[in-house]
Chain A
Amino acid sequence: MNLMLWLRRLGCWLAGGIFLYAGIPKALDPLAFAGSVAAYELLPYAANLVVAATLPWVEIVAGIFLVVGWRVRPALLVLILLDLAFMAAIVSAQLRGLTIDCGCFRPGAGDSDLITALLRDLLLLGLLLATWWLLRRESASPPPEVRP
């Protein structure tokens, strides 16, 4: 086992764990999360509810795939796109002068302002991209020689 393989696995476990940690509390309280989504004032009323009912489960499914190491590349792609969407929503809220909680982890927790949330999402994006790069490097390298 080489270092790069373990680094890639560590990246998958860490990123998967973060999205599970973020997704489970929101999946358990979809109404409160709908309030957090609505606070961004980006979607109509019913769409906020549908997003709140489904988005945490996409995070959870992709997070599980990363942790167990199955379909890692598509799971990474989904989470990278989600992270970019979160960052776009946060930037949009910041530009419109909204003073809201990001709703990233526990809904309505009020534990982070938008700038902190944006920086956290940037770090998470870095982790996802680094894991993606390690995975590419792993699949591009030739298989180890088998000694007779």
Chain B
Amino acid sequence: MSPLAAATRRLLRDALFIVLGGVLIGLVFNGRMVVEQIVGPTPVAPPPELTETVETEAVLYPFPVSFDEMQELVAAGTLILDARPIELYREGHLPAARALPLDEAAEGVARLLQEEARDETVVVYCSGFGCPDSFDLAQQLLKAGFVDVRVFEGGFPQWRDAGLPIRRGEGE
């Protein structure tokens, strides 16, 4: 092997080690987060002495909905709310989802209270991943009196990227 070819091989091998090293460190730090985001968090039972506190706190914490559950809920005609800005809703949203942007939550939640029963199941989504709008809107719904509020954390990106049908325009 010529010295040039050997040097090139060494260069490529070292570059590959740098990439693999970075990927490995990233997976060590974030592997659990990646798995939880894709398959849903692992349920952890609270210690007995904390049960009461956790239940009190849980009143304001919406239930997470996995991707599979979300498909069933959509098929069952559950009330779905899109917490993203209205422009994004018009560009594409889940079938039968209603727009309720977080910045219009005050009027939107009040209107919803008049139209829907408080024990109605409500699922909220936004742009997935770290998008906090669905969680914030879900908390406002819980504070307003809705008792079964859930958050689809994968949001619109997971639904769209799975190739499932979406709807454009004003929708419902």
**Given known A35-B130, A44-B161, A71-B14, contact A49–B22 (CB-CB < 8 A):** no
B interface secondary structure, majority: helix
Number of A-B residue pairs at CB separation under 8 A: 99
The proximity string for A residues 70-83 relative to B, scoring 1 for CB distances below 8 Å and 0 otherwise, is: 01011101100000
Which listed segment binds B: A2-10, A23-31, A109-117, A119-127? A23-31
The answer to whether A48 and B129 have CB atoms under 8 Å apart is: yes
Which of A30, A45, A59, A73 interacts with B33 by CB under 8 Å? A30
Tell me which residues across on chain A come within 8 A of B66, comparing CB atoms: none
Within 56-90 of A, Cβ neighbours of B (below 8 Å) are at: 56-62, 65, 71, 73-75, 77-78
Q: How far is the CA of A6 from the CA of B102 in the complex (A)?
A: 54
B3 CB–A CB distance under 8 Å: no
A50 CB–B CB distance under 8 Å: yes
A93 CB–B CB distance under 8 Å: no
The answer to whether B33 and A78 have CB atoms under 8 Å apart is: no
A contact residues vs B (CB 8 Å cutoff): 27, 29-32, 34-35, 38, 44-46, 48-50, 52-62, 65, 71, 73-75, 77-78, 107-108
B contact residues vs A (CB 8 Å cutoff): 11-12, 14-15, 17-19, 21-23, 25-27, 29-31, 33-34, 37-38, 127-131, 154, 157-158, 161-162
